[in-house]
Chains A and B, each alone.
Chain A
Amino acid sequence: MNKVTENLRKTAAKLLQDKEVDMVIGYGLGSEAVRTQPVFITSPDDVDKLVWNPFCVNGLTKYLSDMKDHPGKMAVVVKGCDSRGIYRLAQDSIIPRDKVVVIGIPCAGQLSYTKLASKIDVSGQLKDVEEKGEDVVIKTSKGDFTVKKSEVFLDKCTTCEHHNPVVADHVVGDAINTCPTPDNYDEIKKYEAMSPEEKAKFWLSQFGRCIRCYACRNTCPGCTCRECVFDAIKPDWVGKEIDVSENELFHLTRAFHLAGRCVDCGECDRVCPMDIPIRLLNKKLLKDCKELFNMETPGSTEEGGSVIGQYRLEDPEEFM
């Protein structure tokens, strides 16, 4: 067992024993070697179910808003990217900061299940993971596999702004001193350079295959509306019909709702079963908000709020 897992369990056990929280939301072993699944620990006797490894891809802050009526205090395990969701939820008054105990874990990057499954047999049970320089050795009941980390990182992890959580009441694990590599938006610039026709062709082809499962919305810590506009029956702003025009309306509306609020955790991209690069839309809005309003990535600091929800005299208005 790695040191982080050991300390994570100790921290969780103490929080539960001291009744500081009545639930710890973290990661447990998954059904396949390179997956984890979110676990909800309510007893100090169960903390052994918690793990930390390079497969802790899920963002867990969304569960806080799902359980916002939970009477007690909850602890949640966050990585750097997810930790921005904590401030985000507090700024939107969804979850008061003092209702959550944040267990932050410095993270050097998470490995993609999809990428790993295309390279190695992932069907066994995980025994151990060892990092060896550029490589990771994944020891499973079906054998040991050595993989080059850079080939299997989640795409988002190659441009990480916060290896260390921006907020944590308890930090488990050593701080990561690697210099952050914030996105220089090269990819977005590529799309910006396209003609409107090219953009339409690209996006309509992507939206055309959306199955409207709403996994992107449901995993998003920025999507916290009491009733989502896409679930409203009267008026039915967006029809339930699955076609490219309704799908486009869904994706663009969702992107605009998240402008200045998206914490750039990349979960929408990860969960999409149809591999639609949803995050590109949010990235474009993030880039615009940064350039126009000098905004930090939302949720990076305790202060602040939705940049679109604020007004400053010096706001640019050349587009008006």
Chain B
Amino acid sequence: MADKSLKKDQVKNLLNKIAQSNQLIAPILSDGITLFKPVQSGEGVVLDYQNAVVPPKDFFFPQSEKMFSYDMSDPSWAIKPEEGVPNRVLFGARPCDVKSILLLDKVFDAEFRDDFYIDKRNKTTIVAISCNDCRHTCFCGAFGISPGKAEGADLLLTDLGDRYLVEVLTDKGETLAANCSDLFSNDDGSGAAAKEKATAPALEKQMKIDLEGVKAKLDNMFDHPMWAAESLRCIGCGTCTFVCPTCHCFDIVDFNNQSSVGYRYRCADSCQFANFTRAAGGHQPRPSKMERTRQRFMHKLRYFVDRYGDFGCVGCGRCLEKCPVNLDIAQIINKVKEVG
């Protein structure tokens, strides 16, 4: 489908229309921070935000998610599965966050098929929005992501000042666009060039990190003293992993409150926590901060590449901005290149 144009004053109408027949998930300002939340209408949705504190990953892989429930007093002992999600539109996701969903697909929708994830993925249409500006911690370019492209999105909006350029990227996007066609006009052909100009500052301003040779070097750095040195300042919290759009480790826990009724849930876990790898009997394969810090960076920059052919990081910059002790993955990448 040809590119469309959406007037700025029509955005709220578009959101309202989407919300009529879908669950709408969009960035809002909540107590001073930007978060993706389900919203009833376009009221309060912010599209000029730079980066949500927590990525929209939560709507595909919730931090906490019920898997099934049961009632043992029921003679059939039937397991009650959870209901799936309604049709949803994730509106206003940034290109890095969209890419992170493609990376999660490699984990949850490949060799092992995760029904919980796939249900949410299938029922969600993703409307991405290009970046005209970026945070001081952004470095998506290092991973081949561009502020003006959003592979994996169904529609891509770009703020051109007075209007949005709307690019239809998939069939799902085409369906959504067709349903709202009265709000769009056809792009007059100037959109593509205007988009390049609009997104240039984000490309220019972001940190330039070169990953050339990093993976190959890390292949031989498992026992490097750098990990011990860098991990000293880590306080072992889970901030980096919980604000990360690609971290996906989880734990599974049964809850039954000592009654016949109970449920099983899974919740995000963090490789930075000491009890993440603690095994029955007390064995601890990652006994200190050194092993845990190494694991995080190795997973992003080496193991993920080995397993899935892509880096497990999208350069969103959340972990380096939020780390209480300035353990900065961009700085780590540069150090990996420097050390002998």
Which residues of A are interface residues toward B (Cβ below 8 A)?
30-32, 35-40, 58, 62, 66, 117, 121-123, 205-206, 209, 211-215, 217-219, 231, 233, 236, 239-243, 267, 270-271, 273-275
A214 near B320: Cβ-Cβ < 8 Å: no
The residue among A37, A206, A218, A273 with the most chain B CB atoms within 10 A of its own CB is A273
**15 A–B pairs (Cβ distance < 8 Å), ordered by A:** A31-B330, A31-B331, A117-B321, A206-B31, A211-B54, A211-B239, A212-B238, A213-B241, A213-B242, A218-B235, A219-B235, A241-B253, A241-B265, A243-B64, A271-B324
CA distance A214 to B265 in the complex (A): 20
Are B251 and A240 in touch, CB under 8 angstroms? Answer: yes
Known contacts A31-B330, A214-B237, A215-B239, A242 near B64 by CB under 8 Å:
yes
Per the bound structure, the CA–CA distance linking A186 and B326 in Å amounts to 33
B239 touches A271 (CB 8 A): yes
Q: Is the CB of B322 within 8 A of A233?
A: no
Contact, CB under 8 Å: B242 / A31? no
Residues 317-338 of B, flagged 1 when their CB comes within 8 A of A and 0 if not, give: 0001110111110110000000
Selected from B136, B273, B325, the residue in CB contact (under 8 A) with A117 is B136
Known: A213-B242, A243-B64. 6 other contacts (CB 8 A): A38-B325, A40-B233, A211-B242, A240-B267, A241-B267, A273-B242
Distance between Cα atoms of A233 and B237 in the complex (Å): 18
Query: From B274, which residue of chain A is reached at the shortest CB distance?
Result: A231
B104 at the interface (CB under 8 A from A): no
Contact in complex: A273, B53 (CB < 8 Å): yes
Counting CB contacts under 8 A, is B130 at the interface?
Answer: no
- Which B265-292 residues have C-beta < 8 A from chain A? 265, 267-270, 273-275
Cβ-based interface call for B222 (8 A): no
Most buried by A among B136, B137, B275: B136
> Which residues from 243 to 267 on chain B have a C-beta closer than 8 Å to any C-beta of chain A?
243, 251, 253, 255, 265, 267
Q: Of all chain A residues, which has the CB nearest B268? A: A242
Check if A32 sits within 8 Å of B64, measured CB to CB.
Answer: no
Asked if B96 is at the interface of the complex by the 8 Å CB criterion, the answer is no
Using A30-B326, A212-B238, A241-B64 as known contacts, say yes or no to A123 and B255 having CB atoms under 8 A apart: no
Size category, B interface: 35 or more
CB contacts (< 8 Å) of B38 on chain A: these are none
- What is the CB-to-nearest-CB distance from B329 to chain A, in angstroms, rounded to a whole number? 10
Tell me the complex Cα distance, A263–B253, Å. 35
- Measured CB to CB, the closest approach of chain A to B338, in angstroms, equals 14
Q: Which residues of B contact A (CB under 8 A)?
A: 30-33, 35, 53-54, 63-64, 136-137, 207, 232-233, 235-239, 241-243, 251, 253, 255, 265, 267-270, 273-275, 320-322, 324-328, 330-331
Given contacts A58-B324, A215-B237, contact A32 B136 (CB under 8 A): yes
Contact yes or no, B31 A31, CB < 8 A: no
Cβ of A219 and Cβ of B253 under 8 Å apart?
Answer: no
Q: Is the interface of A mostly helix, strand, loop or mixed?
A: loop
**A213 contacts which chain B residues (CB < 8 A)?**
237-239, 241-243, 270
Min CB gap B48→A, angstroms: 14
Q: Which residues of A contact B325 (CB under 8 A)?
A: 37-38, 58
Complex Cα gap A320–B219 (Å): 64
**With A31-B331, A231-B274: A36-B237 Cβ-Cβ less than 8 Å:** no
When distances are taken between beta carbons in the complex, the residues of chain B under 8 Å from A32 are: 136-137, 326, 328
A248 → chain B, closest Cβ, in Å?
A: 14
* Given known A241-B265, A274-B53, A275-B32, contact A233–B275 (CB-CB < 8 A): yes
CA distance A214 to B272 in the complex (A): 11
Assess whether B35 is in contact with A209, with CB atoms less than 8 Å apart. Answer: yes
| B328 in contact with A215 (CB, 8 Å) | no
Residues A273 and B255 in contact, CB atoms below 8 Å apart: no
CA distance A274 to B270 in the complex (A): 17
Given A37-B326, A275-B31, A62:B136 Cβ within 8 A: no
8 Å CB contact of B236 from A218, A241, A274: A218
The residue among B137, B235, B238 with the most chain A CB atoms within 10 A of its own CB is B235
Cβ distance A202 to chain B, nearest Cβ, rounded Å:
10
Which residues of B have CB within 8 Å of A205? 31
CB-CB nearest in chain A for B252: A240
* Complex contacts, A215 vs chain B, CB 8 Å: 235, 237-239, 324
- Contact assessment for B237 and A218 in the assembled complex, using a CB-CB cutoff below 8 Å: yes
B136 touches A122 (CB 8 A): yes
Residue of A58, A217, A236, A240 with highest tally of chain B CB at under 10 A? A240
What separation, in Å, do the CA atoms of A212 and B273 have in the docked complex? 11
Question: CA separation between A30 and B239, bound complex, in Å?
Answer: 18
Contact (Cβ within 8 A) B238 A214: yes
9 nearest A-B pairs in the assembled complex, by CB-CB distance: A215-B237, A271-B324, A37-B326, A242-B64, A31-B328, A123-B136, A213-B238, A38-B233, A273-B322
Evaluate whether A242 and B267 lie within 8 angstroms (CB atoms) in the complex, with A40-B233, A209-B30 already known.
yes
Residue on A nearest B243 in the bound complex, by CB: A273
Which B residues are in CB contact (< 8 Å) with A123?
136-137, 207
**A38: chain B residues within 8 A (beta carbon):** 232-233, 325
Question: Which A residues are in CB contact (< 8 Å) with B64?
Answer: 240-243
Q: Chain B contacts of A39 at CB under 8 A?
A: 233
CB within 8 A of B253: which of A122, A240, A274?
Answer: A240
Question: Closest CB-CB distance, A204 to chain B, in whole Å?
Answer: 12
CB distance from A144 to the nearest CB of B (A): 17
B207 contacts which chain A residues (CB < 8 A)?
A: 123
Known A31-B328, A32-B136, A242-B63: A274·B33 in contact at CB below 8 Å:
yes
